[in-house]
Structures are given as C-alpha cells and as structure tokens.
Structure 1
Amino acid sequence: MQASKGDRLVVHGRVVGKQDHVVEVIEVLGPNGTPPYRVRTENGHETIMSPGPDSVVEHRKASDTV
C-alpha cells in the first residue's frame, strides 16, 4: 500500500450494515509512501494509522492539487 499527503484511506466495514470509515492522509511516516500514516477523520481527530487488508487508498486527482 502506498499513499501520499491528501489521499483518502477507505476502511471497509467488516460487518454487514457497518459503513466504510474514510480518513484523509495528512502525513506519510513510512518510507516511499508506505504506512504508517498520520490521518484526520471527518470530525478533525488526528491519529497514526497502519491500515489493514480491509483498507484501500483513493489517490487524489491531479485536478485536486492547488
């Protein structure tokens, strides 16, 4: 898994009826874009995360960069 600042991590719910959890990568702490990542949730909470196999990276689009 590789991510960059501004990408989103989507952690899929593992139980029927549980929604996906989406966070924004605000800092990459591992080498070459690998985990762990400092992430921010929708409510502004920041934490360090090493995503598991139930997670995917949504890379930011080139048009999203300013």
Structure 2
Amino acid sequence: MRAHEGDWLVVDRATVGQEPLRGLITEVRSEDGGPPYMVRWTDDDHTALVFPGPDAHVLSHAEMDEFERRRTRRLEQFQESVARSRGQSVT
C-alpha cells in the first residue's frame, strides 16, 4: 500500500449495509509512501496514526470523487425504484 498526502484511506466494514470508513491522509510518515499514515476521519473529524489492515485501500482524490459519484447514483436509482413501486412520479 502506497499513499500521498491528500489521498483517501477507505476501510471496508464487515457488517452488511454499513458505509466504509473514510479518512483524508494528512501525513505520510515514510519516504516510499508506505504506512503508517496520519488520517483525519470524516465520520467524527478525529485524527489518528493508522497502520491500515487488509480491509483498507487508498484512493486518489480523483478516484474518491468517482467513488462518491457511483455511491450517489446507486442511492438515486434505489430511491427511483422505491418511488416507482409506490406509483409515485419520478422527477
């Protein structure tokens, strides 16, 4: 695993339906980009030194934007599906 300041650390959760944990990498402590990383977590805005496990991966800023776009689109599609099943108009 390699990262740069400004990349995102995403930690998948084992529980179905829970969103992954996301944190902005604010500091990379090694010259080669390997862990540990200082990470500011988005869920509660705390900063911690992190040694990522096998359930974690690093996304660049552009990759994180695409991740968020896909997530938002899936939510919109779900909401449209629910509205259609209830006979409501979809705008």
Same fold per superposition (TM over 0.5): yes
Q: Secondary structure at the match of 1:32?
A: coil
**Identical-residue share of aligned pairs (%):** 38
Name the structure where helix makes up a greater proportion of residues. 2
Runs of 4 or more, structure 1, over 4 Å off, are none
Q: Which has the larger radius of gyration?
A: 2
Name the structure where strand makes up a greater proportion of residues. 1
| Runs of 5+ unmatched residues, structure 1 | 62-66
RMSD: 1.2
Match of 1:64 in 2: none
Please report the TM-score for the alignment, with normalisation by the length of structure 2: 0.61
Q: Distance in 2 between matches of 1:37 and 1:9?
A: 9
Matches within 5 A, 1:1-66: 1-42=1-42, 43-61=44-62
Q: Distance in 1 between matches of 2:56 and 2:41?
A: 15
Give, as a single letter, the amino acid of the residue that structure 1 aligns with 2:32.
Answer: N
Shift in Å, 1:2: 0.2
Shift in Å, 1:15: 1.7
Q: Distance in 1 between matches of 2:45 and 2:20?
A: 17
Please report the TM-score for the alignment, with normalisation by the length of structure 1: 0.82
